[in-house]
């Protein structure tokens, strides 16, 4: 005969895993280490960026100084004193004692640079009188054309 075992404990729910402080401490340590590493990486990255910035700023300063220097050199090379010295010493020029204005009877060539070179010039368009033979004109005047 089956009997109910009243003394037997009722079936219970599965037990929650026991709290293990060591595991928690390890997790906390790992998290702390990760955070610390992150800080280190961030600081490193920041320092690296700062150094790069410094280097670039220095490069920029150098280039700006070079630009100023080159501009000054250009100015010095094109100064009137230097141009006059070169004209006198290298080219043998002397200041004009008087200025003469010459009248040129012929028409000035068209354009600032004068006539274009023949090789680049477009083929001259023949005038109508040249392109059409004389007999054609004559024919035009007659009812045969």
Residue 55 CB, nearest approach to another protein (Å): 14
Question: CA–CA separation, 35 vs 27, rounded Å?
Answer: 12
| List 23, 55, 68, 140, residue binding another protein (CB under 8 A) | 68
Least CB distance to another protein at residue 62 (A): 7
Asked if 76 and 82 count as a contact pair (C-beta separation under 8 A), the reply is yes
Taking CB under 8 A as the binding criterion, the range among 15-23, 39-47, 73-81, 119-127 that sits at the site for another protein is 73-81
Q: Which is nearer to another protein, 52 or 79 (CB)?
A: 79
Residue 76 sits in the site that holds another protein (CB under 8 A): yes
Task: Give the whole-angstrom CA distance, residue 36 versus residue 42.
Answer: 10
Residue 53's alpha-carbon distances to 56, 66, 102, 135, in angstroms, are: 5, 20, 64, 85
Residue 107 interacts with another protein (CB under 8 A): yes or no: no
3-state secondary structure of 86: helix
Under rule CB under 8 A, residue 78 binds another protein: yes
Decide: is 53 part of the binding site for another protein (CB under 8 A).
no
Nearer to another protein, 14 or 110 (CB): 110
Distances (CA, A) of 50 to 43, 45, 53, 60: 10, 8, 5, 15
Structure tokens at 14: 């599965």
Q: Which residues form the interface with another protein (CB under 8 A)?
A: 61-62, 64-66, 68-69, 71-72, 75-76, 78-81, 98-99, 101, 103
């Amino acid at each position: 005969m089956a009997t109910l075992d009243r003394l037997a404990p009722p079936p219970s729910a599965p037990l929650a895993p026991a709290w293990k402080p060591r595991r928690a401490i390890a997790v906390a340590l790992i998290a702390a280490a990760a955070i610390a590493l992150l800080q280190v990486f961030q600081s490193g990255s920041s320092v690296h960026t700062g150094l790069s910035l410094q280097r670039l700023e220095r490069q920029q300063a150098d280039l700006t100084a070079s630009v100023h220097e080159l501009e000054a050199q250009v100015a010095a090379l094109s100064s009137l004193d230097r141009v006059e010295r070169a004209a006198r010493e290298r080219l043998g020029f002397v200041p004009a004692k008087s200025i003469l204005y010459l009248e040129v009877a012929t028409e000035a060539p068209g354009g600032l640079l004068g006539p274009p070179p023949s090789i680049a010039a477009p083929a001259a368009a023949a005038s109508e009188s040249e392109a059409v033979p004389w007999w054609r004109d004559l024919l035009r005047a007659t009812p045969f054309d």
